[in-house]
Amino acid sequence: MSATFDAVPAPRRITDLSTITVPPRRRDTGRIVSRVLIVLALVVLMIWTLFPFYWAVISSIKDPADNYGNKWLPFVTFEPTLKPWRDLWGIREIRQSMVNSTIVSVGAASIAVGLGTLAAYGIARFRFYRPRNGSLTTWFLSQRVLPPVIFVTPFLLLAQKTGLYDTLWALMIVNATFNLPFPVIILTQMFREVPIELEEAAQVDGASRFAIFARIAVPLVLPGIVVSWILCLAFSWNEFLFGFSLSQTDARPMPVYLAGGDQTRGVDFQAIGTRMLLTASVPLLAAMLSQRYIVRGLSLGAVKG
């Protein structure tokens, strides 16, 4: 009995590549639609965020008569003027409130960062038992968790008894107290990421603990210190509750002045626009000047091996 096998034809060799036809590539319609929707959502969000600033800018350079009607483009629909800004600087209370807010925010941020840096280094490098390191960190964090309104009456009575009511020192101390958790939480993790071998080598060479802290640890976490200082500055600048309760006339900060105001004739669009931009200028300028430190500080420790 014999079996027969059919011969398998040899594969045909293609000599002309032009005869090869590639099927048309199908477009992923769903992916294109999702990207378009994301772009539209980002555009809407950007307009929603930036429009109040644009409104404040154009309102601060308009004549009072140009506030009514569709006049939104400078040099096109209305002629800009700097009269609202000249009127703003002519108000003594605004100049005094700006100086008060600057002194309070810079002083409170410096005090909080100075004490917070020492506390963060101690928590990161030393072991405590009563209370433990984790309990200390939780205690600092509780300063931001508890509602500040429950401390208004005790701080008010304390300021009156010590003669600090309506003074810049009272506002600086209170703001530094409530902003202290920011440098402690941020810098504790950064100090832990500093190689301990560097400090041990310096200690072998005879450096004191404070010299190790000031000359080795602090320069390595400088971006984090700048980020903590900017956060403390922003929160101190925007603080209204303690500024309202602990000040009256001499130490009145800018948020309290804006809330109280001196308007007796309805809505003044020029005053709102100029004061809004003036109030936002100090923290915005501080953030722009320290932008490279902020970016480095926020990204420091984001990738760990």
Condensed to tens digits (0 to 9), the pLDDT of residues 211-267 reads: 999 999 999 998 889 889 998 999 999 999 999 999 988 899 999 988 875 554 567
Whether the per-residue pLDDT at 10 is higher than 70: the answer is no
User: What residue type is 273 in one-letter code?
Assistant: G
Give the position of tokens 């400090």.
199
Average pLDDT of span 295-304: 55
The pLDDT of residue 168? 94
The pLDDT of residue 13? 57
Q: Which helix (H) or strand (E) holds 200?
A: helix 196-204
Most confident of 69-83, 99-113, 181-195, 288-302: 99-113
The pLDDT of residue 300? 56
CA angle 129/134/135 to nearest 5° reads 75
Q: Give the model confidence (pLDDT) of 159-200 as tens digits.
A: 999 999 999 999 999 999 999 999 998 899 889 888 889 888
Task: Give the separation between CA 212 and CA 205, rounded to whole angstroms.
Answer: 11
Task: Give the separation between CA 218 and CA 179, rounded to whole angstroms.
Answer: 20
Average pLDDT of span 19-39: 73
Residue 258: φ, ψ to 5°: -65, -35
Task: Give the separation between CA 123 and CA 146, rounded to whole angstroms.
Answer: 22
SS (H, E, C) 81-130: CCHHHHHHHCCHHHHHHHHHHHHHHHHHHHHHHHHHHHHHHHHHHCCCEC
Q: What's the fold here for domain 91-299? A: MetI-like fold (1.10.3720)
Average pLDDT of span 284-292: 79
Whether the per-residue pLDDT at 304 is higher than 50: the answer is no
Whether the per-residue pLDDT at 39 is higher than 60: the answer is yes
Cβ count near 174 (within 10 Å): 26
Average pLDDT of the chain to the nearest whole number: 83
**Which of the pair, 17 or 170, is modelled with greater confidence?**
170
**Which of the pair, 293 or 205, is modelled with greater confidence?**
205
Residue-range domain boundaries for the chain: 38-81, 91-299
Question: Cβ contacts of residue 4 below 8 Å, gap of 6+?
Answer: none
Q: At 82, list the tokens.
A: 């700097």
Average pLDDT of span 91-102: 90
The pLDDT of residue 171? 95
What are the CA-CA distances from residue 49 to residues 32, 52, 55, 87, 276 (Å)? 26, 7, 11, 28, 15
Tell me the sheet residues that pair with 129: 132
Task: Give the separation between CA 65 and CA 69, rounded to whole angstroms.
Answer: 9
Looking at residue 148, the DSSP 8-state letter turns out to be G
**Which of the pair, 263 or 5, is modelled with greater confidence?**
263
Nearest CA among 143, 245, 241 for reference residue 184? 143
By mean pLDDT, which of 25-39, 88-102, 187-201 is the weakest?
A: 25-39
Q: Give the model confidence (pLDDT) of 268-281 as tens digits.
A: 788 888 888 888 88
User: What residue type is 147 in one-letter code?
Assistant: P
Give the position of tokens 């992916």.
31
Cβ count near 241 (within 10 Å): 16
Task: Give the separation between CA 190 and CA 197, rounded to whole angstroms.
Answer: 15
Q: CB-hemisphere CA count at 13 Å for 286?
A: 18
The pLDDT of residue 174? 94
Burial of 97 (0-12, 13-18, 19+ CB in 10 A): buried
Task: Give the separation between CA 258 and CA 238, rounded to whole angstroms.
Answer: 11
Average pLDDT of span 103-126: 94
